[in-house]
Structure 1
Amino acid sequence: MAVMYPTPLPNYVLADPLRSTEVRVHRLLEAQLPDEWHVFYSRPWLGLHPDGGEVEGEADFVAVHPKTGMLVLEVKGGVVSRNGTTGEWTSRDRHGIVHSIKDPVRQAGRSRHRLLEKIRESRLWDQGFLNARHGVVLPDSGRPEHDLGPDMPLRIFAFMDDCKELGKWVEGRLAADPDPRATPPGPRGVEAIRRLLAADFELTPTLRSAYEIAERRIDRLTAEQFQLLEQLACNPRMIIRGGAGTGKTMLAVEKAMRLAAAGQRTLLTCYNQPLGHHLQRLCSGVANLTARSFHQLCRQCAAQAETLPAGSGEGRDYFEQTLPQALLDAVETNRSLRFDAIVADEGQDFPGSWWAVLELCLTDAENDPFYIFLDDNQRVHFRQSDAPAYPAFLLTQNLRNAREIFTAAAPLYSGGVWLGSGPTGGSVSFIEAETAGTATARLRQWIGRMTNRERLAPRDLAILSPDAAMAGMLRNAGVTGGIPSCAAHEARDNAIVIDSVRRFKGLERAAVAVCCVDQLVSSTELMYVALTRAHLGLTLIGPAAVLGELKRTIATGSGSANCCGTGNEHNHQGQDALELP
């Protein structure tokens, strides 16, 4: 006997005379199909028109087999007819009453198409091309002598006589002339479809409510983090390593504030300009504490000491060599620019030569406190960024990302222990978009869903792309509709951030949409950063081929990506890998 969903049929279905034919077909399928078959009754779906409008429908039955694929069936009782002139379909019941009905062939075909879209979008589906067919069951209608039309060959219909052995008809409909591109779904594929069509679920709060609860939880220090702060108090120099979401930035800010409160003139620095602005906002008004990105610090000190060379300053050499040298010259020229303690966040972004520069920014370069927080998996800017040989502490608990997001990112991590301790639930969604226009439409729909149904504010959302040029195009394209958008360093409460993955590194939002193109899947590090920016809702939008590669990498921790980036990754970063003036 086939495995049926739902089982048993609800009483309201059994008692409904308008469903009597469907109940009869349900019993035939259950009795006549072997155990390997899974049959889903009355499966609704919601799709989209090309213009973005919604369209809904329902498949009467969806039958799935691990070897042959999926068959979508539409059932019509009574004696069915169609008027060739008007195209109207009707059904005459046993009392002789004629009812107008929808075109069952079109219904079945459309349901098959929409369900295939949903299956391909599901992150659970990684089985390749699915052999899918549609059919129409007419248990009260006799078989005609010829096809009913070019799109209605007799083979897609099960008539009155066919229903005596409906199970064999279903098996034959799928087995005959299978699509040569198809691969058997297997038990894993059947389970993916089951979870799509008959998933267990628990109604949870909106993302807004869940985000507020998660933020309160994250703000409480864990025992591991308390232990770290105690060790930092006893050790003037340390390296703190940890995966994404382990609280590195929060602890860096906390340590910097404690040093400043103790009367030490403290620098809190990082590489990324947007993260630097974020740290400035967090530390605004705190006495003895300067929060700047590294290049902001270089410019500020060089301007005060008048050590900055003439010229506007452009290109990689300017940022990697000229500005650091100007900072070094400034603190040697004016010792009052030096600090009593330094805390560096996202330390993996710093090339090794900068650590010596920062040490010389201390009053006592050999002994003053210096703490570096880093994640070796996020080296998306420089290949050589070896930190000083300070004592190390490992943070292991990811508190930021919801469990489903953490599970997706975990295969990309290679830095030792990294445990998912974030909020339960969350979501990872894959949405296909083969063209830029389709991607824009999908992003608009995502924004509408997040701001309306999930009650999130613009400040809770981010749209990320692999590079700054694409992010700029998205901002100019007006994908946010009437809601303002901005780059990450310009973040404000009424705007949605649209920026590159690299520039958003170190930052986070309740929900994040990532535009997936080949450049993203070419680097494990870039994927890892992109997937870990969201607290609760992660949406990945892109062409089917790219999403497929991303799913394979997530599932296996391998793919076209590699842990050190591609051989030319440093070149294709362009100016996005630099912080421009």
Structure 2
Amino acid sequence: MAKLLPPYIDKNCKSTGERMLFDIFKNSHFTKDWIILHSLNLSKHTKRLYGEIDFLLLIPGGGIYVMEVKGGDVKCIDGVWHFTDKFNNTNTSNIGPFNQARDAMFSLRSAIEKEFGKRHKFTKILYGFFSAFPHIIFDKHSVEYESWQVLDKDYIQKGTEGFFYNLIQNFIQKHKTQKWFSVKDSLPDANDLNALCYFLRGDFERVRTVKERLAEFDKDVKKYTEEQCRILDSIQLNERSVTQGSAGTGKTMIAIESAVRAAAEGKTVFLTCFNRLIGEWMQKQVYEWKDKITVSSLHSFLFEQSKGFNYDKSQSSKQDFYSKYLPTLLKDIYQRGISRKFDKLIVDEGQDLIREEYLNLFDSMIIGGLKSGNWEIYGDFERQAIYSQLPKKEMFELLKQSGQYSNFLLKINCRNTKQIGEETSLISGFEKPPFLLEHLQGIPVEYFFYKGEADQKRILGEQLKKLNESKLPFNELVILSSKIFEHSCSYSFSDFTIKEIKNTGEFAMTQNIFGFATVQSYKGMESNYIMITDIEDLTSEIAKSLLYVGMSRARYGLILLIAESLRNDYRELLKRKLD
């Protein structure tokens, strides 16, 4: 089978023709060395402001081919194309599918030339285009295309291998006399196409930022880094894996994407984490797959699953109710076959969930158990293990007892600006950043020192007023503190309305309310602007961990309110930076 990117058809894809061709590429033996990308958006189209390639075929020894798919009934009358879908809805266009494919091909070639330079061997690759009509026999002739550029219902029924062989040979025959053509460079091998794929694939596999998903007004799309793409590919080849990465390296997004890929293959998935807010957020991201993916923070899942069972309710008041009693209860339920086991387990925030009782529960929940089952764990075991009761070494010893697994490491920070990443590393006590920073330039991190509660409230008010006057939407800033809301400087604040965030997406963009959360509860989330208040410790290990978590939530702007008594501690940190 071909290497398909993405490896599944999006549920929002309404084209039955595209679905049919996707399955052909996926299940055909002759495509086994091909790379096929589905629905590539081209922002700078040669003819129109926006274009889309239905399928892009990267064929070793054959070249690169743009395919335009037209499902349903297709007619061309007096130069006007008529496309009728299965609901008998008809759309018309003066631009035919062959011209669409050809224009997209030139756009793609221009993009590659701009990226790699005019003299690069990739600019000599053979390009071709064709159109597919999977529901009809298309026997119309035109000067716009050759008959061998038509893949229709008749060809599909007979078998498509012959069509593609003829397509490639005809394009080679057509261009081999050109000065730029050479067998070595124009008919690329698998290594060349894999290298080119990393440039192209970001337009296929896209991650929407939290801002975009929650506020629905930010149209910027952040692409997966090349590193994330490689790990996503590698995870598919390993039944069990642990992926480590510092804050902002994309662990949660990879976990979500992996869950969707498994669900697209028909697997049932349990996607879990420690933090309630991030659990709610992930649940929204995979809502359309809710029949296959169960998403919840582990404690919420334990509580919900225990409902209806007769157990000692007096245990709920005990400190180990969630850490020992409920995990043991649920383990017994799964072992007895009362609840159906999952095909795959994916754990985010693994640094807070690796302990014996939870691992025993996970072992009972998945087919094959931890030793032979399909599972992935993602975590930051350096500074984000603020709920863990075990050191990193002991956590990994427990995992080793559960069976063999592959290790992966994410190094590139794709969330924070360079300034935020460097300051986070400095304040949280790292000798050097525990991640590689992308070249995302932003504004300087701001530090303010307060001399008491009243002074801190004054500074908080001034900064909120300043941001408000700059037209920053209220929901673009989150105020964090290591203290609970009632004990923080944000409580009983008179200048602006500040409310505690209890559910994701709680505050609309139009509401004049600033959100507040504890650093602990906001772990795993992010916001364009973060303000951290009530900073009364810079040196203890727990303080460094909380600052690391809090500061790394900020994508663009970061403001810290620090007690005046810590000014000397801050100066010492600056000295270390200068040294």
TM-score by length of 2: 0.55
Query: Residue 410 of structure 1: SS of its match in structure 2?
Result: helix
Matches within 5 A, 1:498-577: 498-519=516-537, 521-523=539-541, 524-550=544-570, 552-553=572-573, 556=576
Aligned equivalent of 1:401 = 416
Aligned equivalent of 2:406 = 391
Can you list the C-alpha shifts for 1:202-233, whole angstroms capped at 9, x where unaligned? xxxxxx99x99x98776201111110011011
Give the alignment partner of residue 364 of structure 2, picking from 360, 384, 388. Answer: 360
CA contact (8 A) 1:301 1:330 kept: no
**Against the structure 1 CA distance between its residues 484 and 515, is the aligned structure 2 distance closer, same or farther, given a 3 Å change threshold?**
closer
Aligned equivalent of 2:347 = 344
Aligned equivalent of 2:378 = 373
Aligned equivalent of 1:564 = none
Aligned equivalent of 1:285 = 288
**Against the structure 1 CA distance between its residues 375 and 547, is the aligned structure 2 distance closer, same or farther, given a 3 Å change threshold?**
farther
Matches within 5 A, 1:453-472: 453=470, 455-468=471-484, 470=485
Amino acid at match of 1:518: E
CA contact (8 A) 1:307 1:326 kept: no
Aligned equivalent of 1:219 = 222
Moved over 6 A (4+): 214-218
Choose 509-518 or 470-479, whichever is displaced more: 470-479
Cα distance in 2 for residues equivalent to 1:326 and 1:519 = 40
Give the alignment partner of residue 300 of structure 1, picking from 295, 304, 310. Answer: 304
Matches within 5 A, 1:38-77: none
Structure 2 residue 447 is the aligned partner of structure 1 residue 427: no
Choose 433-442 or 267-276, whichever is displaced more: 433-442
Query: Residue 248 of structure 2: SS of its match in structure 1?
Result: coil
Query: Residue 287 of structure 2: SS of its match in structure 1?
Result: coil
Post-superposition offset of 1:442: 1.7
Cα distance in 1 for residues equivalent to 2:326 and 2:432 = 31
Post-superposition offset of 1:486: 2.9
**Against the structure 1 CA distance between its residues 518 and 416, is the aligned structure 2 distance closer, same or farther, given a 3 Å change threshold?**
closer
CA contact (8 A) 1:480 1:496 kept: no
Query: Residue 498 of structure 1: SS of its match in structure 2?
Result: strand
Structure 2 residue 238 is the aligned partner of structure 1 residue 235: yes
CA contact (8 A) 2:241 2:375 kept: yes
Post-superposition offset of 1:339: 1.2
CA contact (8 A) 2:241 2:406 kept: yes
Amino acid at match of 2:385: R
Post-superposition offset of 1:340: 1.0
**Against the structure 1 CA distance between its residues 318 and 483, is the aligned structure 2 distance closer, same or farther, given a 3 Å change threshold?**
closer
CA contact (8 A) 1:520 1:526 kept: no
Amino acid at match of 2:307: A
Post-superposition offset of 1:283: 2.1
Structure 2 residue 266 is the aligned partner of structure 1 residue 247: no
Query: Residue 443 of structure 1: SS of its match in structure 2?
Result: helix
CA contact (8 A) 1:349 1:379 kept: yes
CA contact (8 A) 1:283 1:289 kept: yes
- For the aligned residue pairs, the C-alpha RMSD in angstroms reads 3.0
Structure 2 residue 463 is the aligned partner of structure 1 residue 438: no
TM-score by length of 1: 0.55
Post-superposition offset of 1:341: 0.6
Query: Residue 313 of structure 1: SS of its match in structure 2?
Result: helix
Post-superposition offset of 1:358: 1.2
Query: Residue 442 of structure 2: SS of its match in structure 1?
Result: coil
Can you list the C-alpha shifts for 1:231-276, whole angstroms capped at 9, x where unaligned? 0110011111111110111111111111112111111110111211
Amino acid at match of 1:492: F
Cα distance in 2 for residues equivalent to 1:481 and 1:292 = 33
Post-superposition offset of 1:315: 4.7
Cα distance in 1 for residues equivalent to 2:361 and 2:550 = 30
Can you list the C-alpha shifts for 1:1-28, whole angstroms capped at 9, x where unaligned? xxxxxxxxxxxxxxxxxxxxxxxxxxxx
**Against the structure 1 CA distance between its residues 338 and 408, is the aligned structure 2 distance closer, same or farther, given a 3 Å change threshold?**
same
CA contact (8 A) 2:531 2:559 kept: yes
Choose 275-284 or 516-525, whichever is displaced more: 516-525
Post-superposition offset of 1:466: 1.3
Cα distance in 2 for residues equivalent to 1:501 and 1:555 = 27
CA contact (8 A) 1:488 1:499 kept: no
Aligned equivalent of 1:320 = 323
Can you list the C-alpha shifts for 1:361-414, whole angstroms capped at 9, x where unaligned? 112213222111101121111230614232111101011111111111224347
Cα distance in 1 for residues equivalent to 2:307 and 2:574 = 47
Post-superposition offset of 1:437: 1.8
CA contact (8 A) 1:475 1:485 kept: no
CA contact (8 A) 1:463 1:513 kept: yes
Post-superposition offset of 1:459: 2.2
Cα distance in 1 for residues equivalent to 2:532 and 2:267 = 41
Cα distance in 2 for residues equivalent to 1:442 and 1:290 = 44
Aligned equivalent of 2:388 = 382
Cα distance in 1 for residues equivalent to 2:574 and 2:424 = 7
CA contact (8 A) 2:536 2:563 kept: no
Can you list the C-alpha shifts for 1:444-491, whole angstroms capped at 9, x where unaligned? 2222222330x32222211111132x5664454136614655346674
CA contact (8 A) 1:249 1:345 kept: yes
CA contact (8 A) 1:460 1:510 kept: yes
Can you list the C-alpha shifts for 1:73-107, whole angstroms capped at 9, x where unaligned? xxxxxxxxxxxxxxxxxxxxxxxxxxxxxxxxxxx
Aligned equivalent of 1:563 = none
Query: Residue 316 of structure 2: SS of its match in structure 1?
Result: coil
Cα distance in 2 for residues equivalent to 1:414 and 1:313 = 43
Cα distance in 2 for residues equivalent to 1:416 and 1:462 = 24
**Against the structure 1 CA distance between its residues 344 and 356, is the aligned structure 2 distance closer, same or farther, given a 3 Å change threshold?**
same
Cα distance in 1 for residues equivalent to 2:339 and 2:482 = 41
CA contact (8 A) 1:467 1:502 kept: no
CA contact (8 A) 1:244 1:532 kept: yes
Query: Residue 532 of structure 2: SS of its match in structure 1?
Result: strand
Cα distance in 2 for residues equivalent to 1:441 and 1:312 = 45
Matches within 5 A, 1:143-162: none
CA contact (8 A) 1:510 1:537 kept: yes
Amino acid at match of 1:384: L
Cα distance in 1 for residues equivalent to 2:460 and 2:494 = 7
Aligned equivalent of 1:270 = 273
Can you list the C-alpha shifts for 1:495-521, whole angstroms capped at 9, x where unaligned? 433121111111111111111433464
Aligned equivalent of 1:497 = 515
Query: Residue 317 of structure 2: SS of its match in structure 1?
Result: coil
Query: Residue 321 of structure 1: SS of its match in structure 2?
Result: helix
Choose 226-235 or 269-278, whichever is displaced more: 269-278
CA contact (8 A) 1:400 1:422 kept: no
CA contact (8 A) 1:330 1:337 kept: no
CA contact (8 A) 2:425 2:433 kept: no
Amino acid at match of 1:260: A
Amino acid at match of 1:445: E
**Against the structure 1 CA distance between its residues 483 and 516, is the aligned structure 2 distance closer, same or farther, given a 3 Å change threshold?**
closer
Cα distance in 2 for residues equivalent to 1:308 and 1:552 = 54
**Against the structure 1 CA distance between its residues 419 and 320, is the aligned structure 2 distance closer, same or farther, given a 3 Å change threshold?**
same
Q: Percent identity?
A: 23
Amino acid at match of 1:410: S
